[in-house]
Chain A
Amino acid sequence: MTLPTTDALKGIYQTSMIIRRTDERLLSMLAAGQARMTYYSPRGQEVISATVGALLSDDDYVVTIYRGLHDHISAGTPLGPLVAEFLGKASGTCSGKGGPMHVTYPEAGMMVTTGIVGSGLPIANGLALAAQMRGEDRVTVCNFGDGASNIGAFHEALTLASLWKLPIVFLCQNNLYSEHTAYELHSPVDSVASRGAAYAMRSVTVNGNDPDEMWAAADEAIRHAREGGGPTLLEAMTFRLRGHTYGDGGSYIPKNQMADAVEADPVPGLRARLLREGLSEADIVDLESEVDRVVNDALQFAIDSEEPDISELRTDVYSSEVFA
């Protein structure tokens, strides 16, 4: 079992803060009526993807869902074009035609973002199968939420992945709410990881908000996949600190549960950890100032960018151009 070094923890904190600040800016733009996209905040889940991102190589593949900003950033998608895509601008990763639900940036391995719960898993199998057939050592990390574990595609994908020993990590970010429904009201089993037994799949549950636990489990799962050992169902426990989507105030979340989760917010928790590891307050403030600069630049780039031209409607539809 390996644990993150202080340098690795610093990197995880930096990525987590880029996610946090970008999320804050997007929520503020939505509240001010300056942005009009459907937005699913990843607040509270940053440490999971920041840790996984630190462990993946440039060649590895990532699949995620509409609550994907943290996964997009951690996979290495450049922040300016990423935010531009969220805002529907021509300079976005998909020329503004994908939006938050369909971010794709293959250059960083950010292969697919899906808008349908559970639909990413069979696609991730395809990516992993391609790598396996070509003899490449790339690993596919497929992110999804607890709600997806009740979808048929989850069970179909796990069956084939286990049977074919695909190089994949099924990363369930269990934030305890499937849209507006609490975990215990939608799932008959105590943990998502326990489902893996039905498919003879290596399965682990960890506290995803703890960078040590997350690092150790993700490192082992990625290594296992890369070395031909097959898939892992890795369940990372976390909590969604915002409603399902922007505009959902989360009135169905018990107040004490939310208060406890805010108290245990993993991002300030990691900051305190860095201080205990010996970083000075000044070191951390420097890092945070750099994060602010990066996020401000990206937001400004996106805000200043043009909307896509109407002719864009005919591009990226088929492999050949569509003529008017």
Chain B
Amino acid sequence: MAEVRVPKLGMSMTDGEIVEWSVADGDHVEAGQIIYSLATDKVDSDIECPASGVIKIIGDVGVNYEVGAIIAEISEDEKK
């Protein structure tokens, strides 16, 4: 299982707000696919998925999370 944590998008970034998820809980996701948008005091960024598998969404839209907070988990597909 891979953890998805809030990334550090710049030297001074300490936290960020999830603007939207582009995938739904339980969806199959591919590494490199855009899975959510993160807003910081400087910039809004589309964040790529770090691994392939089934996503369990933990972080809520509109909530501010510290860098390093776990906002999703990706487990391997059972079918494969």
A279 to B49, alpha carbons, bound, how many Å? 34
- Chain B residue nearest to A32 (CB atoms) is B50
Shortest distance between the CB of B77 and any CB in chain A (Å): 18
Residues of A within 8 A of B5 (CB): 32-34
The answer to whether B4 and A32 touch across the interface, beta carbons within 8 angstroms, is yes
Q: Mark A1-38, 1 if CB is under 8 A from B, else 0.
A: 00000000000000000000000000111111110101
- Chain A residue nearest to B49 (CB atoms) is A31
The answer to whether A28 and B50 touch across the interface, beta carbons within 8 angstroms, is yes
Residues of A within 8 A of B13 (CB): 247
The answer to whether B7 and A31 touch across the interface, beta carbons within 8 angstroms, is yes
Partner of A33 from the list B6, B31, B45, B49 (CB cut-off 8 Å) is B6
The answer to whether B51 and A28 touch across the interface, beta carbons within 8 angstroms, is yes
Known: A247-B45, A248-B43, A249-B45. A32 touches B51 (CB 8 A): yes
A233 to B24, alpha carbons, bound, how many Å? 52
Residues of A within 8 A of B45 (CB): 247-249
A312 to B29, alpha carbons, bound, how many Å? 42
Whether A245 is near chain B, meaning CB under 8 Å from some CB there, is: yes
Shortest distance between the CB of A255 and any CB in chain B (Å): 14
> SS class of chain B's interface: helix, strand, loop or mixed?
loop
Partner of B46 from the list A27, A28, A245, A249 (CB cut-off 8 Å) is A249
A98 to B39, alpha carbons, bound, how many Å? 29
Residues of A within 8 A of B49 (CB): 31
Partner of B10 from the list A27, A245, A249 (CB cut-off 8 Å) is A245
Residues of A within 8 A of B31 (CB): 28
Partner of A32 from the list B7, B10, B11, B43 (CB cut-off 8 Å) is B7
The answer to whether A33 and B7 touch across the interface, beta carbons within 8 angstroms, is yes
Whether A154 is near chain B, meaning CB under 8 Å from some CB there, is: no
Of residues 1 to 37 in B, which have CB atoms within 8 Å of A's CB atoms? 2-11, 13, 31
Of residues 88 to 138 in A, which have CB atoms within 8 Å of B's CB atoms? none
Residues in chain A within 8 A of chain B (CB atoms): 27-34, 36, 38, 245-249
Q: Can you list 12 pairs linking A and B with CB atoms under 8 Å apart?
A: A28-B51, A30-B7, A31-B4, A31-B47, A32-B5, A33-B3, A33-B8, A33-B67, A36-B7, A36-B68, A248-B43, A248-B45
A-B pairs with the 9 shortest C-beta distances? A33-B5, A247-B9, A32-B50, A36-B8, A28-B50, A31-B50, A33-B7, A31-B48, A247-B45
Q: Told that A31-B48, A32-B5, A38-B11 touch, could you supply 18 new A-B pairs with CB distance under 8 A?
A: A29-B50, A31-B7, A31-B47, A33-B3, A33-B4, A33-B6, A33-B7, A33-B67, A33-B68, A34-B5, A36-B7, A245-B10, A247-B7, A247-B9, A247-B43, A248-B43, A249-B45, A249-B46
